[in-house]
Amino acid sequence: MAFRIRRLRALTAPFCAVLLAGCASTVVTLTPSPQAAVCERSATALVLWAPEWRADQKDAAEREAAAATGLKDFFASSGCFAEAALRRVHSLDPSAVSAQHAAQAGRFTRVVVIAVRELGPVVRLLSSAALVEGGTEVLLHVSTFPVPGDAPPRQFTVHWRHGGPAVVKGVASLPADMQAALVAGLQPGEAPR
């Protein structure tokens, strides 16, 4: 009898793991919503980005490295723009953005500014019927500026979350999570073949 119970547990454990993993879902919120695509395959873009972490952000250097990798991989593989120059800047205030754009006068048809406000794993204990609920979260603030022109920038936030009950993720998926949030927010469509 004890052998049967151990065998039953051994056989049901993988099933339960698959069942719980199947509870993970992705939720994307664009604010304001809806948003037109930022990506345009015929356009050229200067993409400026910087982290804007909260004051108590842990592991900021590791998160920044993951954000940089995710951004680089997205613009290299998505076909979002015909050409995109990705630059990490120290500040995203309007004067710094204008200075970066002025240095590249005439080369780009638009400027895209991305503030990375959150990128990391999330774990909540005892938050629902599940003992552990977690996943990863990405929060971006995106501004686009047409060039040339004095039109006000289009601004919106992308809040991307993936997880659910019994989901615990580490930092290894953060570059891919960053890319997924960029796909949801910038809407590149299908990659070129």
Query: How confident is the model over 54-71, as pLDDT tens digits?
Result: 888 888 899 999 999 999
pLDDT in tens, 147-179: 766 678 899 999 999 988 777 777 789 999 999
User: What pLDDT does residue 17 have?
Assistant: 43
**Cα–Cα distances in Å, from 47 out to 74, 89, 118?**
12, 10, 18
Residue 191 has pLDDT above 60, yes or no: no
Q: What is the mean pLDDT of residues 6-21?
A: 45
Predicted confidence (pLDDT) at residue 5 exceeds the cutoff of 70: no
What domains are there in the chain, each with its CATH number? 24-186 (3.30.160)
Mean pLDDT, range 8-12, rounded to an integer: 47
In SS3 terms, the chain reads as CHHHHHHHHHHHHHHHHHHHHCCCEEEEEEECCCCCCCCEEEEEEEEEEEECCCCCCCCHHHHHHHHHHHHHHHHHHCCCEEEEEEEECCCCCHHHHHHHHHHCCCCCCEEEEEEEEEEEEEEEECCCCCCEEEEEEEEEEEEEEECCCCCCCEEEEEEEEEEEECCCCCCCCHHHHHHHHHHHHHCCCCCCC
Position 20 pLDDT exceeds 80: no
So what's the pLDDT on residue 168?
72
92 band by pLDDT with thresholds 50, 70 and 90: very high
pLDDT of residue 4: 52
CB 188 within 8 A of CB 42: no
- Whether omega before 32 lies within 30 degrees of 0, making that bond cis, reads yes
Model confidence, pTM: 0.82
